[in-house]
Each structure stands twice: as structure tokens, then as C-alpha cells.
Amino acid sequence: MPVVEARAVTKVFRDFWRRPKVRAVDGISFEVRRGEVFGLLGPNGSGKSTTLKMILGLLHPTRGQLAVLGRSPREVRAKARVGYLPEESYLYPYLTPDETLDFYGRLFDLNAQERKQRTAQLLEMLGLQHARHRTVGEFSKGMARRIGLAQALINDPDLVVLDEPTSGLDPLGCRQVKDLILTLAKRGKTILVSSHQLADVEDVCDRVAILYSGRIQAMGSVQSLLEDTHQCRVTFPDLPAASMARLLAAFRDALGTEPGIEHPRRDLEQFFLDVVEKARRAGGESSGAAPTQGVAAYLKTPARPEDALQQLLPQAAAAPAGAPPTATPEAQAAALREADEKLQQLLKPGSGT
């Protein structure tokens, strides 16, 4: 069952006299599958925020069907498993981060101990533990955004809806949020991101839908949409001039034209992060958010038995996407068998999980 399912969803905004004014979303259909990071891309006014708001029950579709976790988005039970970060941080400015997270934790019926633990872990994860007694109204936009993100995760949600998650964040904050999205995805959470920061979407999303004028213009995996199968790129270390000349001659013979050659550039984001990291090591201080501290422990703990498999495979979970396995095939097979056995134990009726 898809986590989000939209079938021919249309949203028409009407004026005071109920006359149609704007068709913000026009018959879109898509599915967000469990455990994937799905991106809604589009320029301003393309309908992505309206779509998100319909998924959250804040707006009602004019036509079509929408289901979140198999229920109507307006059902209270569906909302218990959803976390939402809005485009702006609509927080109460007179509350401290502690009070804010405690308040939203109460809305999810978490007990006092759980709220306290999760608040501490989230603030540590987002580097805000030093500002926990300041009111949110005093925060910079980036810091308020982090609190917004923390409240979206307080309930350990199955579906995390992020509207422009990197808006207002500095490159360091952007990187941290993107890392967090990837970590949450590894943990088995489904993430729906709306953004017009194309690089951010490219970095984190498994699949994207590009909207324009309320309609889906393109949809698919990032890889399939961006791959140019008519060109190849070969990367190798810098070679001595003679070796390079031989290599170029071979390419020339094969292609019949002159190949393009250039030195690869680091991207600006990575360069910036390196500079900041050096400065930090040199002892520089900032009044903003501190460096993030991994992931909140409760977010690492599997909420459902079927998530246990991923947690029981530490090597696989720790390795970045595409990285070569560090364990031998025999060790991996043994670990998989062990994990499978543990999973079967967990899924047995009366196992208490």
C-alpha cells in the first residue's frame, strides 16, 4: 500500500461567491512508496505547496481521491503518523525550544519521560541544546527552522512532509538537513519534500515529480530523469603527458572527433563546508546553531518489526549509497541469516513487539 496515493486530484480556489478563481492543481496522480524520498519540484505557483497542504488535510481537494497511510488526510488517526515542517516556521514565539517540543509531544499523547528524552535528543541532534532556554522568537530563521524540523520528528513519524526544508538555512544547515533526510530514509521513513532548490532535491530524492501550472510535467527516479545515455564520462587520475597523449589518440580514433577534456571541480557546497570545518577546528565560535550530533537515539530505534532488518545490518546501514561493502560476502551472508532469524522472532505473535 502506498504511503501517499493521489488519483486525479484537482484543487480549484473559489472567490467569495463560490466562482472558480484559480485552478492550482489540475488532475494530478502519483504515489509515494514506503521508505522513499519523493520530491515535488516546481517553480513558484506550480501547485506543489497546495498539493502538500491537501496531503496534510489543510486544504480539501475539489475533485479526485487522496489517501495518506490508507486513510483520508483529514482523519485524526492518519495524522498521528505524520510529521510536517511548513514552509515558514509557524511556531509560538514566546515558547522556548523545550516548551515548544513538549507542547507538540503532548499533542501526540507522549508521556512526560518520553517527551523529555526526545526533546533532549532532538535538540542535541539539531545543535540547539545551548539555546534551549531562549524563546523561539529570538531565534534566527535558520534556528527556528531547526525547531520546526524537531517538532516534525517528535512523534517518530512514518511519513515526514517537508515544505522547502532548506529554506532559510545556511549551506552548513542545508547539508545537515539533507544528511538527516538521508538518515531518516535509511531508517525506513517515507519522506515527501517540496522544493525549488533543484540541487537539494537531486541530492536526496529517489523519485521526483515536476509540476508546472498545476500539472505533473515529468515524474520518475532522479537517475532515470537525469541520465544522458548519449554521453559517457571517464574519470581517472592526472596522467603523465605521454600517457595522456596516447589515451587521447585512442579516443580520437574511436570517436572520430576531438573529445572534451577538463579537470573536475569540487562543488561550492563541499568547498564551503571544508572551509567552515577548518575554521571551527581553529576555535571559532558562532551564536547560531552548533554542529549537529548524529541522529536522535529514538529515531534510530525501529518502530516496527519489519524495520528491524535494516537496524540489524550495521554494515549495510552505515555504508553510504553506492559505497563498496566492507565485509566479506561470507560475513554478509551470515549477518543476513542472523538478521532474518531475529526478524522471524520479532514477528512471532506474542513476542511483545
Partner 1 sequence: MRSVWAIALLSLRTAVRSRVVIGLLSILVLGVIGIPLTVKSDGTLAGYVQILVRYTLGFAMGVLLLATVWAGCAAVASEIQRKQIHLLVTKPVSGAQLWLGKWLGLVILNTLVLAVCALVTYGLLRWNTRAGQLNAADAQKLAGEIMVARARVPPAPFAVEQRVKERFAELQQRGELPTNMPPTAIYQALFTAAQVETHTVAPGGKITWRFALPAACERAPAFQLRYNLAAALQAPLNIRGRWVVRRERGGEACEIAADHPAQGQHSLTVPGTALAGEGALLVEYANVNQEGLSLLFDTQTGLTMLVPVGGWLSNYLRALLISDCLLALVAALSITAGSLFSLPVAAFVVFQLLIMFSTAGMIHSLATREAGFVAALPDMVRTTGWLSEAVSGFYRGLEVLIMPMQNDDPLAMVATGEWIAWPVVAWTFAKQIVVTSGLLLLVAVAALRRRELALPTE
Question: Which residues contact partner 1 by CB under 8 A?
Answer: 13, 53, 56-60, 74, 76-77, 79-80, 82, 84, 86, 88, 90-92, 94-95, 103-104, 106-109, 151, 155
Sign, CA dihedral 146-148-150-156, equals negative
User: Which of 89, 91, 195, 100 is CA-nearest to residue 142?
Assistant: 89
Query: What is the distance, to the nearest Å, from the Cα of residue 33 to the centroid of all Cα atoms in its chain?
Result: 14
* Cβ proximity of 142 and 288 under 8 Å: yes
Measured from the CB atom, is 88 or 138 closer to partner 1?
A: 88
C-alpha cell at 291: 554542529
SS3 label, residue 96: coil
Choice between 43 and 314, CB closer to partner 1: 43
Q: Shortest approach of partner 1 to residue 279 CB, angstroms? A: 35
Shortest gap between Cβ of 151 and partner 1 (angstroms)? 7
> Which residue from 134, 98, 100 is spatially nearest to 117, judged by alpha carbons?
98
Q: Which is nearer to partner 1, 58 or 313 (CB)?
A: 58
Work out how close the CB of 107 gets to partner 1 at its nearest, in angstroms, rounded to a whole number.
4
Closest distance of CB 206 from partner 1, Å: 24
CB of 53 to partner 1, least distance (A): 5
Q: Looking at beta carbons only, is 117 or 311 nearer to partner 1? A: 117
Name which of 87 and 170 has its Cβ closer to partner 1.
87
Measure the CA–CA gap between 189 and 159, rounded to whole angstroms.
6
Rounded-to-integer distance, Cα 291 and Cα 277, Å: 10
Minimum distance of partner 1 from residue 91's CB (angstroms): 7
Q: Which is nearer to partner 1, 152 or 177 (CB)?
A: 152
Q: Indicate the DSSP class of residue 214.
A: T
At 191 the three-state DSSP class reads strand
